[in-house]
Homo-oligomer: A and B are copies of this chain.
C-alpha cells in the first residue's frame, strides 16, 4: 500500500474502490469489495426504459412505488415518503424535528451524528443500556446496529416509542438492515413520535439507484415531501423499487441464501483467527489485534474490508457471493 492516508479515508464509509485501487496499484483486479453491507447478489429485474429516462418521473409512478413498498413494510402509504436513499432522510431529519438535543446509541453509522452536529444540535453517543432512560429530544437507534449487529427487540422499541411520544419526544429507528431481522421491525407501528428509516440499496443490492423511505406521522411526511420536491427519486428507483418490493419470493430466497453464506463466512474467519463479535446476514464484525495489518494484507490481495476509527481492533467483512469465497479463502490463508 503506497498511500498511508488511505486507511483514514477507508474508516469513513465503505466503498471508495477508486481510492483503494490508487493506494494499492499492484493489487489484482477486479477488486472484491467487502467493505460495505450491500448485498453482492442484487435483485435482478428490468431497469427503467430509455423513454422513462427522457421524462420527468410520473407522479403516478411514485404513488405506485410507495404503495408496493408500504405493503412490504406493513405501513400505510400516507405514513411514508420515498427519498433518494436513507441517507437523504438522515441529512434532513434535523430540519424536520426542531430539537435541542440528540442521543444516539453507538458506536454506529457515523452519518447520524454528523448530520445533527452540522445542524448545531447537541449530540451525544450513549450505550444501549442507557437508551430507555434517554431524555434527549431525539433518540436514534440503528436496528440492527451497524457495524456490530446489536439487535433491539421490537417490544422494547415500542415501549420506548410510546413513552417518548407521551412527553413529546422522538424516537428514530434506522432500519437500514432490518431485512436481516424482520421480526424486530417497527415499520408497522403507529406512534406520533416514532420515525422509521428504510433503505432499499442494502438488502436488494441496489445502492447505486438511491432509494430509501422515511416512515412517520402524515404531517411530518408532508413536510419532508415539501423539502424534497416533486421528483424525489429517479427513474430506475421507481421501476426497480416497485419490482423488487413486490417480489416476495426473492425476499424469502435471499433471506435463506444470506444466512447460509454468513455461516460459511463465520467459519472461514474463525479459522483465520478472527473473533466474530456480531453482525447481520449482510456483514460480520470481527476483532483481531492485527486489524491494520489484516486490512493492508487484504488490500494487497485486491479485497477491500472496512476498518473503524472508533474501534482500531475491529474489521468488518461484507458477506461475499458464492463465487468469491475461494478468493477470500486464499487471501485469508496467505496471511503471515
A234 interface residue (CB < 8 Å to B): yes
Cα of A115 to Cα of B95 in the assembled complex, Å: 14
Within 8 A of B (CB), among A84-112: 84-85, 87-88, 90-92, 95, 111
Within 8 A of B (CB), among A29-56: 33, 36, 38, 40, 42, 47-48, 50, 52-56
* Cβ of A217 to closest chain B Cβ, rounded Å: 18
Do the beta carbons of B84 and A84 come within 8 Å of each other?
A: yes
Do the beta carbons of B17 and A38 come within 8 Å of each other?
A: no
A168 interface residue (CB < 8 Å to B): no
Do the beta carbons of B38 and A206 come within 8 Å of each other?
A: no
The verdict on A19 contacting B60 (CB below 8 Å), with A229-B111, A231-B210 known, is yes
Cα of A95 to Cα of B231 in the assembled complex, Å: 19
Cα of A227 to Cα of B88 in the assembled complex, Å: 8
B residues near A234, Cβ cutoff 8 Å: 84, 208-210, 234, 236-237
Do the beta carbons of A91 and B227 come within 8 Å of each other?
A: yes
> How many interface residues does A have (CB within 8 Å)?
57
Cα of A58 to Cα of B205 in the assembled complex, Å: 15
Interface window among A8-16, A122-130, A147-155: A8-16
A77 interface residue (CB < 8 Å to B): no
A233 interface residue (CB < 8 Å to B): yes
Do the beta carbons of B16 and A59 come within 8 Å of each other?
A: yes
Do the beta carbons of B85 and A229 come within 8 Å of each other?
A: yes
B residues near A52, Cβ cutoff 8 Å: 208
A144 interface residue (CB < 8 Å to B): no
A76 interface residue (CB < 8 Å to B): no
The verdict on A90 contacting B53 (CB below 8 Å), with A60-B18, A208-B48 known, is no
User: Contact partner of A207 among B56, B210, B232, B237, CB < 8 A?
Assistant: B56
Cα of A124 to Cα of B40 in the assembled complex, Å: 51
A228 interface residue (CB < 8 Å to B): yes
A61 interface residue (CB < 8 Å to B): yes
Do the beta carbons of A88 and B56 come within 8 Å of each other?
A: no
Q: Binary interface profile of A, 182-224, with partner B (CB < 8 Å = 1, else 0)? A: 0000000000000000000100011111100000000000000
Cα of A206 to Cα of B50 in the assembled complex, Å: 9
A118 interface residue (CB < 8 Å to B): yes
Cα of A60 to Cα of B13 in the assembled complex, Å: 13
* Cβ of A95 to closest chain B Cβ, rounded Å: 6
Interface residues of A (CB under 8 A from B): 13-19, 33, 36, 38, 40, 42, 47-48, 50, 52-61, 84-85, 87-88, 90-92, 95, 111, 114-115, 118, 201, 205-210, 226-237, 240
11 further contact pairs, Cβ within 8 A, besides A36-B56, A38-B56, A87-B229: A48-B208, A55-B208, A57-B207, A84-B232, A91-B227, A95-B95, A111-B229, A208-B234, A209-B235, A210-B234, A236-B236
8 contacts between A and B (CB under 8 A): A19-B59, A42-B54, A47-B53, A55-B208, A87-B231, A88-B229, A208-B234, A210-B233
